Structure 1
Amino acid sequence: MEKTSKGRVKVGIYLCAILMMGVIAVSSNIANIIGAFPEANQTTVITYLISIPCLIVIPMTIITGKLMGSIPKKTLMLIGVLLWLAGGVVPFFMDSLNMILVMRIVFGIGLGMVQSLCAALVVENFENPNERGKIMGNMTAFQMLGAIIFSLVAGNLGTISWNVAFLVHLMAIISLIATIVCIPYKKPEKVTETGEKVKFKPTGMMWVWCIAFFVYMIAGQTYSNSASSIITELKLGGSAAAGYSLALFALGGLIMGFIFGKILSACKRMTLTVGCFLLAASYLIMTFAPNLALSYVGAFVCGLAFSICMPCILTGAGSSVDQASSEMATSIATCLQNAGMAVCPYIVTPAGAALAVSAGGKLIPNQWSMIFAVIVVVILAIVFMIINMRNKKAA
């Protein structure tokens, strides 16, 4: 592929990646939406707007991985972005929470397709592992950029009216144009040069990477579930302060995404281990921060850690199988990423509550949840440290 063509493909991938955290686009406007539907409780509104789309993403990543074997990725990305756009914007015209739920399901389908396809397009168009890793890092940066833009724009639109915030999803028009102009049209290779059908061939190491993503996100999602609550419960700040924490998290992820290639070159096989230890450090900072400023430092460092670990795991999963199987490998990894996010509150929250009781109430449950997540991510770091040391010794 020529240099100019590669550059165009990168632009297309990056401008689609800004949609990958789109599920949080209206999260800053949740309170206004709850007020618009007094007959529904807070849990129902959050479930309809946030939880359901996240659950839909899980099977869609696998389905999309299957579809890539017979439908060009450009076609699938066009469909995914259009579903994302329609599912996001149409609720602006609705006054029924049940109809909004239907559109959020459509939105979840589109989101699942976009998440799978962004990673698969990197794997398909860039074979060099170092280049692939750098692009995965940049992709994460644009993902975080999208999170910042969505949070700020939707928050301001929500001050006009609860439904106006949904218009933030019009940003997908940029992604739609980028898909049409920049993403190459390639027909899937159904057969090999010998005439045999291309089959998915998973490897043991692929499953290690995919399970690692599941475990990592159980710990990683704890930031969203517990960090903001710690700020308010310890009276370090109010809900606005918690919102700034999310913005600083995304800023950290944005910055690290752009310099990830240099981190990868410096740390090589140990990059994921470094990222995991950095995440653990950020959690400890936020858990024991005596003031809001230090809590913000922890959130920023947390964003840095995320943009190290996520591209590492996706690149590892895609590179641990042959080229023909790499697309499905990244889809499975993305599926387990979302599964880890979904089960996080059912594992980490009870663990935090149990530790709080056993410790005699010295820390609040959300602080113990963060500490439990630290234990999980440190174990993951040690496991990959051992794997890399053995691989280095074998080599």
Structure 2
Amino acid sequence: MSKGKLKFGVLAVSAMGMGAMVTNPVLADIMKAFPDIDPTTVMLISGLPSLFIVFFAPIYGKLTQYFPKKALLAFASLCFVLGGFLPAFMTHFTLILAMRCLLGVGLGFLMPMAADLISDFFDGHERQTMMGFQSAFTSIGGIMYQMAGGFLGSFGWNHAFYAYLLGVIIFLAVHFTLPEPQRKTAPQGEKLKMPGKVYPSFIALFAFQMILFILTNNAAVMLDGEKIADASSIGVALTLMTVGGLIGGFFAGKVMRVLKDYTFTLLFLLFGVGFGIGYTSYTLAQFFVATTLIGLAMGVLVPSYWVKLSVTVPPPLVALAISIGVSAMNIGGFVQPYVYDGVRKLFGLQIGRDSFLVAMIASLLMAVFVLTEAIVAKKGSLRDVSAR
């Protein structure tokens, strides 16, 4: 089939990966519709899908060894559409939460599937470029779903859930443009294990998402609390992060080829610079620069790790490795508020601005961590070459 159709089919899967964001613009309206439900519980509408991604992404990785990926795509799309769309007709809050869990199951399959399919169909520089495009299309999907949710939600909070019908169109487009990839299996009688050298990548993805969520969870607290910006301007700042991720994704392949082994070190340093600017920002324009830089680093870092995992593990384990990486990221995002709360109490810090200082220091420590890993890996490779 034509490379154009193949690329379209693979990238279209990425557009569904940020589907949980549909409800973000209408959370306040849902709180008003359910005044007897604690606001923290209502916020589970946004958070529950991420929790289910943690558990179901690795399940996807294991199932790829036994089932066709197009069948798994059909199952994931069904969970995505039903779990996303059915709350439009529900008035019982518990049922809505149950549907958000079903949505999380679908996303747990779809998020690693996007990068996994790229590793199936593309190699070398083309794989690097496509992984970057996958990150960009994920950002496009996030923008698309948030805008659709906000527009439809203006007619009533339950109308926002109609946005999930876009999943039907995307599924049909992917189903008819994407061939079934050849299943990769281990040689008969050989039991494959996950190489030990991939675990630092899982740690880095966990830390990256935990640091990133410091921005999304504390931007409004800082900007609104210090009277720097109102809600609409805060929304623009976070949108600029997504736009930065979109731009970074499109150039990720070139960045990987230029920076090579030091890609992750320089990206975590850029992450640190962005949070440093955020910490010292007392004007909205400065904060816009901070979120854009953080977004740029995000847009390159994630696809770079998918490329690294896809070439580090044996081909039959690529889907599982990427799935574990997705889970590690979602665990990092989920535990971030609790980890920062512990750090804040330990050092007597405040919520808001001080969190950006913590994120900057954590980013610089991660830059040292990934640099050390790169040096150790390089020495190990040289020893292997000498031994041969």
Per the normalisation by structure 1, the TM-score is 0.92
**Equivalent residues in 2 for 1:377-388 (5 A)?**
377-388=363-374
1:272–1:384 contact (8 Å) kept in structure 2: yes
Matched, 1:260 2:256: no
**How many Å apart are 1:322 and its aligned residue?**
1.4
**How many Å apart are 1:392 and its aligned residue?**
4.0
1:227–1:366 contact (8 Å) kept in structure 2: yes
Partner of 2:31: 34
> Counterpart of 2:227 in 1: which secondary structure?
coil
Matched, 1:147 2:142: yes
Partner of 2:119: 123
Q: What is the CA deviation profile of residues 343-382 of structure 1, one whole-angstrom value per residue up to 9, with x for unaligned ones?
A: 111102331344344xxxxxx4222222112222211111
**How many Å apart are 1:185 and its aligned residue?**
1.4
Q: In structure 2, how many angstroms separate the alpha carbons of the residues matched to 1:100 and 1:21?
A: 19
Q: In structure 2, how many angstroms separate the alpha carbons of the residues matched to 1:365 and 1:53?
A: 25
- Structure 2 residue identity aligned to 1:45: V
Partner of 1:360: none
Partner of 1:331: 323
Deviates more, 1:206-215 or 1:385-394: 385-394
- Structure 1 residue identity aligned to 2:316: A
Q: In structure 2, how many angstroms separate the alpha carbons of the residues matched to 1:312 and 1:291?
A: 32
> Counterpart of 1:365 in 2: which secondary structure?
coil
Q: In structure 2, how many angstroms separate the alpha carbons of the residues matched to 1:88 and 1:72?
A: 24
Partner of 2:361: 375
Partner of 2:48: 52
Of 270, 292, 302, 1:300 maps to 292
Partner of 1:208: 200
1:18–1:146 contact (8 Å) kept in structure 2: yes
Q: In structure 2, how many angstroms separate the alpha carbons of the residues matched to 1:122 and 1:311?
A: 11
**How many Å apart are 1:338 and its aligned residue?**
0.9
1:214–1:336 contact (8 Å) kept in structure 2: yes
1:280–1:377 contact (8 Å) kept in structure 2: yes
Q: In structure 1, how many angstroms separate the alpha carbons of the residues matched to 2:249 and 2:181?
A: 28
Q: What is the CA deviation profile of residues 7-54 of structure 1, one whole-angstrom value per residue up to 9, with x for unaligned ones?
A: 32221121110111111221111001111111112101001x022211
Q: In structure 2, how many angstroms separate the alpha carbons of the residues matched to 1:252 and 1:215?
A: 20
> Counterpart of 1:318 in 2: which secondary structure?
helix
- Structure 2 residue identity aligned to 1:88: G
- Structure 1 residue identity aligned to 2:344: G
- Structure 1 residue identity aligned to 2:30: I
Q: In structure 2, how many angstroms separate the alpha carbons of the residues matched to 1:353 and 1:227?
A: 19
Q: In structure 2, how many angstroms separate the alpha carbons of the residues matched to 1:84 and 1:261?
A: 30
Q: In structure 1, how many angstroms separate the alpha carbons of the residues matched to 2:274 and 2:307?
A: 24
**Equivalent residues in 2 for 1:180-219 (5 A)?**
180-186=175-181, 188-190=183-185, 192=187, 195-196=188-189, 199-219=191-211
Matched, 1:286 2:283: no
1:353–1:368 contact (8 Å) kept in structure 2: no
Q: What is the CA deviation profile of residues 139-182 of structure 1, one whole-angstrom value per residue up to 9, with x for unaligned ones?
A: 01011111112222211222211111111212212320222122
Partner of 2:18: 21
Flag structure 1 segments of 5+ consecutive residues without an equivalent. Answer: 358-363
- Structure 2 residue identity aligned to 1:22: G
Q: In structure 2, how many angstroms separate the alpha carbons of the residues matched to 1:163 and 1:268?
A: 47
Deviates more, 1:364-373 or 1:181-190: 181-190
Partner of 1:322: 314
Q: In structure 1, how many angstroms separate the alpha carbons of the residues matched to 2:344 and 2:207?
A: 17
Of 68, 72, 77, 1:76 maps to 72
Partner of 2:158: 163
Q: In structure 2, how many angstroms separate the alpha carbons of the residues matched to 1:349 and 1:391?
A: 34
Matched, 1:366 2:352: yes
**How many Å apart are 1:109 and its aligned residue?**
0.3
Q: In structure 1, how many angstroms separate the alpha carbons of the residues matched to 2:238 and 2:358?
A: 21
1:352–1:366 contact (8 Å) kept in structure 2: no
Q: 1:169 to 1:220 in 2, by over 3 A?
A: same
> Counterpart of 2:352 in 1: which secondary structure?
helix
1:122–1:132 contact (8 Å) kept in structure 2: yes
- Structure 2 residue identity aligned to 1:196: G
Q: In structure 1, how many angstroms separate the alpha carbons of the residues matched to 2:186 and 2:31?
A: 52
> Counterpart of 1:221 in 2: which secondary structure?
helix
Q: What is the CA deviation profile of residues 301-341 of structure 1, one whole-angstrom value per residue up to 9, with x for unaligned ones?
A: 11111011111122212221111221111111111111111
Alignment RMSD: 1.7
Of 295, 302, 305, 1:310 maps to 302
> Counterpart of 1:26 in 2: which secondary structure?
helix
Q: In structure 2, how many angstroms separate the alpha carbons of the residues matched to 1:374 and 1:191?
A: 43
Q: What is the CA deviation profile of residues 67-88 of structure 1, one whole-angstrom value per residue up to 9, with x for unaligned ones?
A: 1000011110121112111111
1:200–1:328 contact (8 Å) kept in structure 2: no
> Counterpart of 2:147 in 1: which secondary structure?
helix
Partner of 1:12: 9
Flag structure 2 segments of 5+ consecutive residues without an equivalent. Answer: 383-388
Q: In structure 2, how many angstroms separate the alpha carbons of the residues matched to 1:227 and 1:132?
A: 34
Partner of 2:385: none
